[in-house]
Amino acid sequence: MFMEDSQLNKFIIDSNLVSKADLDSATEEAQKKGIKVGDVLVNSGKITEDNLRRMQAYVIGIPFVDLKQRKIPFDTLSLIPEPVARKNNIVAFKKTEDTLEVAMLDVNDLAAIDFIKKKVNLKILPRLTDTESIKDAIIQYQKSLKEEFGDIIQKESASLKAMAEEISAKNGNPDSAADLKKIAEDLPVVRIVDALLKHAIIQNASDIHIEPMEEELLIRYRIDGLLHDAMVLPKNAEPSITARVKVLSNLKLDEKRLPQDGRFKVDMNSEKVSLRVSIIPTCYGEKTVMRLLKENVSGFTLEYLSFHGEGLERIHRALTQTTGMILTTGPTGSGKTTTLYTMLDILNQPDVNICTIEDPVEYQMKRINQTQVNTDIGFTFASGLRTLVRQDPDIIMVGEIRDTETAGLAVNAALTGHLVLSTLHTNSAAGAIPRLLDMKIEPFLLVSTINVIIAQRLVRRLSANKEKHFLSRSEVEALGKSVDLASVLTALQEEKIVKNVDSWEKIPFYRAVAGKEDDGFKGRLGIHEVLNVTASIKELIIKGGTSEEIEVQAKKEGMLTMIEDGVFKCVQGMTTIEEVLRVISE
């Protein structure tokens, strides 16, 4: 299956896809860099990656297969686990009694072929394909799994109903701890809860809501910040499903009058997910909400989180300081913790000691000493922070500043030679100052400690299904009432996103277009404002300036507000104006 460059070069010349001059230039560059001629031609845009694969298939005599719009039987597709298929760009698409045809982007990936051969004990016949075919096949995993989970839930719900009726008829009280434990560990409810979790993880949900209604049990998933109905189960499935979640979370089975909190972990598709569980009594039973947290977040960068330009530079400068405070602000679910962990990942070097106090520990990171508060035994943020400063830390992360005592201790830690990272619940970066003043922190201490304040929200990210459009004059005027368009235009030109233009009506925006697999949105991204505490800002704080005055001064010094950053990202084609206005107005 190995192919010499000379074989490919001859085919390229014969096919007239590339001129001889371009091919000679690519050959010379390939020899200098020690890479393949085909890679040089792809990198320079002379041919596409998929065209290169088709030519390679022809030259080495391996069939090329097009899997786009082709339905693959799930029993064949599932012979290669979805994580393996995604990681190695290889899918099984045709099976006979003793052979398995697999479509690949790289037929020289002998390790992947050998792994699959051992797993299925069949003769493997590799075929070349293109990236779109692989993408379509990966999507079929999700479709097939959704159908499979639907069948499991429908089948097991019937078994669950029969079992509950049997216990009720025998004991007259199916709500005792012993009976609930028996139901929770029975196969039907185990399969249902496993299916709910797998289904949520596949759809990249951040939360699972299990909500008892008057006559049914509603399951909803929060995906990209919005709740979606996932499925409806029989009403009598609620006690057993809740009991199963309680068993997994090590909660009291027979306690139905008081709220309970817990957590557990699952390992699905080689991905570790931690679930934070909250159960609260309602009119029609116990409502359960599970927050899904993928444990491995290392490798994120601030650029990946969509920080850019001057705001990004301000954060990097603050991270080089050895003392002071960096604060992130925003409502629950706005991505503050992910931003904090990303900064910790940047700071996590062998020569520093990093300690955290959190409630709860959401992500576990190597070489960082993470501690979880436990208010039941009096271990609070304040008491934990007192101890951490005696642990010889260089960097301290406080999960949240909630009260005056914690705020005072965090400020003192920043004053005594530590870099402190924390979060606050405020609506804007400038709003963090009056919030800390309300916590009885003296203004002179604030100006001595705070380096940078970040405020953020999450908006839905546009998928590949989008279309370009332009704003009318009236739409530009309406947008200009809530956004400083001049500041946004300056930032766009400084970062070379747009060339010099004299009108916003000439700048393209984008809108979502519903496709086969999504509604035009997929995933989320952050919109931010990064307030640098400069000398002029410090002067305002000392004088008792309002958050509005602080924000005005920060804007004069180049800060983009969140809504302005949102419009910036709309021009980049990352989200829509409607999405930004929806989140900022919430």
- The string of pLDDT tens digits covering residues 461-515 is 998 788 999 999 999 999 999 899 999 999 999 998 888 777 899 899 999 987 6
The tens digit of pLDDT for each residue in 160-170 reads: 666 656 655 55
Are 183 and 243 a contacting pair, CB within 8 Å? yes
Query: Closest by alpha carbon to 570, among 584, 556, 558, 559?
Result: 584
More confident residue, 570 or 116: 570
pLDDT at 224 (0 to 100): 85
Average pLDDT over residues 79-102: 85
pLDDT over threshold 70, residue 113 = yes
Of 226, 199, 221, 224, residue with least CA distance to 209:
221
Q: Using only the alpha carbons of the chain, give its radius of gyration.
A: 28
Q: Of 66, 120, 69, which Cα lies nearest the Cα of 96?
A: 120
Predicted confidence band of residue 297 (pLDDT cuts 50, 70, 90)? low
How distant is the alpha carbon of residue 209 from its chain centre? 19
Q: What is the mean pLDDT of the chain?
A: 85
Confidence (pLDDT) at 2: 46
Pick the more confident residue, 278 or 114.
278
- Tell whether the model's pLDDT for residue 67 goes beyond 80: yes
Choose the weakest-confidence range: 108-117, 153-162, 359-368: 153-162
Q: How confident is the model at residue 15 (pLDDT cuts 50, 70, 90)?
A: low
**Smallest Cα–Cα separation from 263: which of 380, 273, 254, 253?**
273
pLDDT recorded at residue 205: 87
pLDDT of residue 64: 83
pLDDT at 229 over 60: yes
pLDDT above 50 for 1? no
- Indicate whether 299 pLDDT > 50: yes
C-alpha–C-alpha distance, residues 503 and 493, integer Å: 13
Q: Which residues pair with 459 in a beta bridge?
A: 525
Is residue 27 very low, low, confident or very high in pLDDT (cuts 50, 70, 90)? confident
Task: Say whether pLDDT at 278 is over 80.
Answer: yes
**Does the pLDDT at position 172 exceed 90?**
no
For the cut 80, the answer to whether the pLDDT of residue 307 exceeds it is yes
Burial class (CB in 10 A: 0-12, 13-18, 19+), 334: buried
Residue-level pLDDT at 448: 94
Segment 516-526 shows an average pLDDT of 80
Q: Quote the percentage of the chain above a pLDDT of 90.
A: 44
Name the DSSP class of 545: -
Whole-angstrom CA distances from 515 to 224, 289, 465 are 16, 30, 6
Q: Could you report the per-residue pLDDT of 173-219, keeping only the tens digit for each?
A: 555 666 666 666 667 788 888 888 888 887 788 899 999 999 888 99
Residue 399, number of CB atoms within 10 A of its CB: 25
pLDDT of residue 361: 82
User: Residue 329 in 3-state DSSP?
Assistant: strand
Task: Name the band, by pLDDT with cuts 50, 70 and 90, for residue 415.
Answer: very high
Kindly tell me the sign of the dihedral angle through the C-alpha atoms of 532, 534, 536, 539: positive
- Among 286, 259, 254, which Cα is nearest to 181's? 254
Question: Which pLDDT score is estimated for 242?
Answer: 92
Taking alpha carbons only, the member of 364, 339, 336, 369 closest to residue 352 is: 369
Query: Higher confidence at residue 328 or residue 129?
Result: 328
In degrees, rounded to 5, the angle at the alpha carbon of residue 401 between the alpha carbons of residues 364 and 289 is 55
Average pLDDT rounded to a whole number, residues 243-252: 91
